[in-house]
Amino acid sequence: MKRLNYIVAFLLAFVLGFANLVKADEGMWLPMLIGKNYDQMKKQGFKLTPEDLYSVNKASIKDAIVSFGGFCTGEIISKNGLILTNHHCGYDAVASNSTVENNILDNGFYAMSNQEEKPIQGLFVRFLVRMEDVTPKVLAALNGVEEKNRAAKIAEISKTITTDATAGTTLEADVRDVYKANQFLLFVYERFNDVRLVGTPPQSIGKFGGDTDNWEWPRHTGDFSLFRVYADQNNKSATYAPSNKPYTPKKSLPISIKGLKNGDFSIVYGFPGRTDRYLTSYGVQMAVEKTNPTIVKLRDIRLKAWKEEMDKSDDTRLALSSIHANIANYWKYFIGQTEQLKRLRIFEEKQKQENEFSQWAASTPENASLMIQYKNAYSAFEPYAVHFTYLNEGLLATPWVRNVSQLGNTIKAMNARKDDAAYISQLKQNLNATVNAYEKTYNEIADKKIFAQILSSFYNDVPKSQHPKFITLIAEDFWKGTAESTFQNYAENLWKNSKLIEPASMRKFIDNPSIEDLQNDPAYKYAVNLNPQDYIKNNFGTLYSQFQAEKNRLDNLYLKALLSKNKGALIYPDANSTMRISYGQIQNYSPKDGITYNITTTIDGMMAKYQPGDDEFDLPQSLIDAYAKRDFRQYAENGTLNVGFISNNDITGGNSGSPVINGNGELIGVAFDGNWEAMSGDIAFDKEYKRTISLDIRFVLWCIDVLGGAKNIINELDIRTNQLPVPKDKLIMKKTE
């Protein structure tokens, strides 16, 4: 037990101490420990207290931050539960509520009353209630556990901890590790499942610049949307019901329209997804040479096939817009990450750090050979890296493959309980729900083309010695001289003869399922080979599981050693979809010699990019008219309207929609992107180039107020102007509107 206490104290000493030695622009800090960063934050312009950012005992800014759907961040901006997030975070909700007759994706939408707000099935938000260090409990449970059983034991004790933490409540909880499983934290959440769409600009504003401007600065994208969280009559979480009321939050963010200047303090508060800042040079090399190029190639196949069909009709464009946008976002990300990893010579920098580490570790037997062990682990797996990437990004990317696999398991379950009519009825309902969701993005021409091209690429790119037997047999049976024509021939045959690909025929099969018909169906004969666990076992043996286990073990030891080596420096943990605070400054940057980018962009730059009728750079007539009149109202600065700004805050995916907050705790913008010159940031932070691209809150308000005419929304907000407070004896009572 003394050893356990020593380890915990040892880790916390590094986590909590010496904050003044760390660059303020780098790091995604745990809110409950932010007090240790306070002196540095105060020097840079933070005016509040650490308890204003995070507190369990009183309302704090953390109570205004939500995990939006588990994939983005949102912030509460009114006492009526109004949520602000990104347009791309709400894109699926908007697209799924759009039809050719009521096309809110293209035309925009603002609810003029609560009754007009649109319920979004399946969307939820989670508020963080509290976080707690549970490292002692986890490490005590791991005492004496063999390495091979470590992961299972961590899962077991984590379940016990979360069950105890939520007993007798409706709360949810997760135990997450940080520092590569050297520390463990409990996060307790309150989840709300009734979330409704309140407003969105036309996508020509919300997605202005499209893929061309994605990850780029200067940027002019109006990337925002509005939702509202609802609760029952007691202000508690409830499933959707017309009688539910807007949620009354513990905290909502005031809004500042005072303007920005270079050097202003800024905080980004949200739920960043994943970083891998401690990845070794071996991992960087594999990403640059193997996995990233493969991901880009496979996503490019999907994007091109979808786009060809989307250009043919508005119905198809609306149906595929959301899935296309999701895939496109990280298609460009992996292109940029590879380019910047090379440009910034991250592989070489990692090697330098590892050589220094090895010299330091030479006298410690447990650490002396870590880098050699890393090299051996990666060398064993590297020949299979492309193949494994194809499994996740290619072979399993076809929706009907997953559906058919699920269908097979469900029919087996039906046969096991033939006499349970209610059970079988429920299973059929579940299957039909899956088909309904599948049908929304099903497009025979595109899906068939994607399927054939991915198989063809697999056949050409993956070493023949690694080809699964079923793919070798397909090639032999349908050979047409080239891989391209062969798998196109196979796809045509599959679509013609299967009852399990086209949604309508799949529904007929579900009505009267037969295990014999299933097993004889060519789609099932293909899909049954792609059960992920079986596929990995049959084609990789224990190679992948051994690599993952070995990498996890080495990562754990490496981080423990780095904490020891860098004693006296504050080391932040990698992002892992838990709440974090990043602080820094509004700051310009110079991407290359002779060029310096300003901190802001304006609507003048937006209009300079405007191309009537273009997919990416068109604009709605309402914006063009308001611009012509210079109708910017109180949201203007220096005679124009700011659209975006940049800061040196440290963010990643999952931070989309996060609030950007000034030193007074006021909302000044919404974070939505990173910049091209620092796309390597998830692996290596670069203080010279790394910037967060955010939407200026004044542009958001202008869109809602002037373009949308939604005064009801504006009236909900606590908007603070740049005017000095008026003395009480000079106040003039004004008649409310």
Which residues are tagged catalytic?
88, 223, 656
Q: Where are the alpha helices (DSSP H) in 269-384?
A: 281-286, 292-310, 314-343, 346-361, 370-381
**∠ CA(373), CA(379), CA(384), 5° rounding?**
135
Helix or strand holding residue 538 (H, E): helix 532-540
Is residue 456 within 8 A of residue 483, CB to CB? The reply is yes
Determine the length of the chain.
Answer: 737
CB atoms under 10 Å from CB of 248, counted, come to 12
Helix or strand holding residue 584 (H, E): strand 580-585
Cα separation of 413 and 230, whole Å? 37
**733: burial class by Cβ within 10 Å (0-12, 13-18, 19+)?**
exposed
Place of tokens 């110079």: 590
Largest Cα–Cα separation, the chain? 91
CB atoms under 10 Å from CB of 127, counted, come to 24
Closest CA to 260 of 629, 695, 596, 706: 695
Closest CA to 557 of 231, 180, 305: 180
Cα separation of 507 and 429, whole Å? 11
Q: How would you label 276-299 residue by residue, b for 16+ Cβ within 10 Å and e otherwise?
A: bbbbbbbbbbbbbebbbbbbbbbb
**198: burial class by Cβ within 10 Å (0-12, 13-18, 19+)?**
buried
**∠ CA(418), CA(422), CA(425), 5° rounding?**
85
Cα separation of 134 and 132, whole Å? 6
DSSP strand pairing (719-720 vs 255-256): parallel
Is residue 216 within 8 A of residue 184, CB to CB? The reply is no
Reduced to 3 states (helix: H, G, I; strand: E, B; else coil), residue 201 is coil
Cα separation of 352 and 555, whole Å? 18
Place of tokens 């309980």: 417
